[in-house]
Amino acid sequence: MTGSIDHPAVRRDVPLAGHTTYKVGGPAAFWAEPATIADLNDVLDAVPADLPVLVLGRGSNLVFSDTGFAGLVIRPTGEFLDVFVGDEGEVVAGGAAPLPKVARTAAAAGRAGLEFYVGIPGSVGGAIRMNAGGHGSDTAAVLLAATVLDLVTRRIDERTPAELEFGYRRSGLTDRHMVLRASFRTEPGDPPALEGRLRDITRWRKEHQPGGTLNAGSVFKNPPGASAGEIIDRLGLKGYRRGDVAVSEMHANFFVAGPEATARDIWELVRAVRMKVEEATGIVLEPEIRFVGEFGDTEVHP
Ligand SMILES: Cc1cc2nc3c(=O)[nH]c(=O)nc-3n(C[C@H](O)[C@H](O)[C@H](O)COP(=O)(O)OP(=O)(O)OC[C@H]3O[C@@H](n4cnc5c(N)ncnc54)[C@H](O)[C@@H]3O)c2cc1C
């Protein structure tokens, strides 16, 4: 049994499906969209200690269960979406800023190093939590510092990459942490050349990944020295499905949902593929996408 929130800015039973790239999942019991740190603090003052809280970015790495999330979802907006280039050429962005906007703002200002973000449909906060990366770089390599709020103690800290304990598609941040803002290292660059690089990355994605479909990027992390997609492909699992979700024909580490898909279908397919890979190779794949809520006999708590 969890607590309740009585606050004018907090909505109840807000459908979550439209806020994730898989477009599945039930409602959030409580929902807030703070536009400033003052708004955020005001809502947090009303949150009972026993209520689970989850910060949502662009929902491009999350699957909420069909029964939804029995807590408060915070989706930062307003000032958390800002992106600008600072006096020293660093790029400063709010925790909710979309990564493609970060890449494009930097390139237009002649600042190089963040082009890889153009192909990752997440937010700055999600990228720091997940150490998102691609095309030879990752968040750990380009981050100068992140401003992090501890949702429990309400302390705000400026953290360096070392303090964020980055690893492959992970950081030391947990659900009690919210990235408010971050700054990124860049080098001088030529805007037309940087725009060209953005186009190359976008084209590469279109040619190699099932863009424009319902998915959440790579389903599994790559095991050491191997590619999860190649392992799944070698087992002949392209097209393998559960309900209205199938292993992509284009890239076997992307599982693509159809319009009738449920969160349960995604969960079942991830479990089935993982089991087949383990039986055939002994490798236990670790999911990169994150499941939140109740899945059959399992409750996945944030
Ligand atoms: C088509 C496609 C391609 C992708 N390609 C890549 C890729 O190349 N490389 C890669 O690494 N990933 C990739 N992804 C996965 C995903 O985009 C990244 O993991 C991204 O960083 C997630 O950001 P998000 O804002 O969508 O996070 P969400 O899915 O909203 O949340 C993910 C986690 O981050 C937490 N979180 C979100 N915002 C904050 C915040 N402000 N403060 C603290 N925690 C927060 C959430 O609580 C959750 O635990 C891809 C996804 C898709 C759909």
- Determine whether 115 is an active site residue: no
- Domains annotated for the chain, with CATH where assigned, are 11-78 (3.30.43.10), 81-207 (3.30.465.10), 210-300 (3.90.78.10)
Show the ligand 1 pocket: residues with CB < 6 angstroms: 21, 54-62, 95, 119-123, 125-127, 129-130, 132-134, 169, 173, 177-179, 215-217, 290
Closest ligand 1 atom number to CA of residue 55: 47
The residue annotated as part of the active site, out of 104, 169, 264, 274, is 169
CA of 74 to the centre of ligand 1 (A): 15
d(CA 89, CA 110) in angstroms, rounded, equals: 9
Residue of 21, 61, 291 best suited for mutating to test ligand 1, as the one with most atoms within 8 Å of CB: 61
At 67-115, the pLDDT tens digits run: 999 999 999 999 999 999 999 999 999 999 999 999 999 999 999 999 9
pLDDT of 2 reads: 67
**Alpha-helical regions (H) of the chain:** 37-45, 99-108, 124-130, 139-142, 191-208, 228-234, 263-281
Half-sphere exposure of 29 (CA within 13 A, CB side): 17
Write the pLDDT tens digit of every residue in 264-284. 999 999 999 999 999 999 999
